[in-house]
Amino acid sequence: MSLLIRSVLAVIIIAYPFVVYFGLLHFQFWQVALFIVVLALFRILLLKNRPTAILKTGIIGAVVLLFLALLAMALEQALWLKIYPVAISLLLLFFFASSLLTSKSMIERFAELREKNITKEKQHYMRNLTKVWCGFFVINAMVASYTIFQSDKIWMLYNGLISYLLMGGLLIGELFFRHLVVLKRHR
């Protein structure tokens, strides 16, 4: 049951811009903000005992979501609900960039979930790839910030669709690049 609840919450978090946009169209502002508060609290409770760094990022994201939703309720301004995608991009930027100050970049940490013996060449490649993702998060945060002051529809489309397509494009592009260029060099 816990897996089902976590999965539903994850889908709602991913669809956050659509939830806010359609929620504000069909419900009163305070109802949408209260829903977000409850959502964030459930997410915090479900993730709090999970030790991995990736899930810690999820907990911090949920705390940020809770803070922004409470601020939106206190100030009675939907603007604060629209800041969440910017905050997540900046949070991811922080985690990815700070990993560059350690011996293992964030991409290497992800790779270690599948692969144990990572060569120095692969470590160098993963460190550079982590830098590329940092650049993506900077640009994404800037564009997401811009959309806050545009129409709700533009905000929803960028943060709920276009940014995910760009993220997926970067991921697929990197996989394509790795298989065509990087792997050929190591044969």
Q: Where are the domains of the chain?
A: 1-82, 85-187
What's the rounded Cα separation, in Å, for the pair 61 and 55? Answer: 10
Q: Is the pLDDT of residue 12 over 80?
A: yes
Whether the per-residue pLDDT at 37 is higher than 90: the answer is: yes
- Alpha-carbon distances of 170 from 10, 84, 174, 175, rounded to whole Å: 21, 22, 6, 9
Residue 139, CA distances (Å) to 51, 110, 133, 146, 163 in order: 30, 22, 10, 11, 10
Q: Give the pLDDT score at 120.
A: 85
Q: Considering only CA atoms, which of 142, 106, 143, 152 is closest in space to residue 127?
A: 106
- pLDDT band for 85, please (50, 70, 90 cuts): very high
The CA angle 156-162-168, to the nearest 5 degrees, is: 135
Q: How confident is the model at residue 52 (pLDDT cuts 50, 70, 90)?
A: low
Position 129 scores a pLDDT of 92
Decide if pLDDT at 148 tops 80.
yes
Residue 100 confidence (pLDDT) above 70: yes
Measured CA distances, 133 to 20, 43, 48, 137, 139 (Å): 27, 25, 26, 6, 10
Averaged pLDDT score across all residues of the chain: 88
Q: Using CA atoms, how far apart are residues 30 and 107, in angstroms rounded to an integer?
A: 39
What is the residue-wise DSSP string for 37-58? HHHHHHHHHHHTT--SHHHHHH
- What is the average pLDDT across 89-104? 94
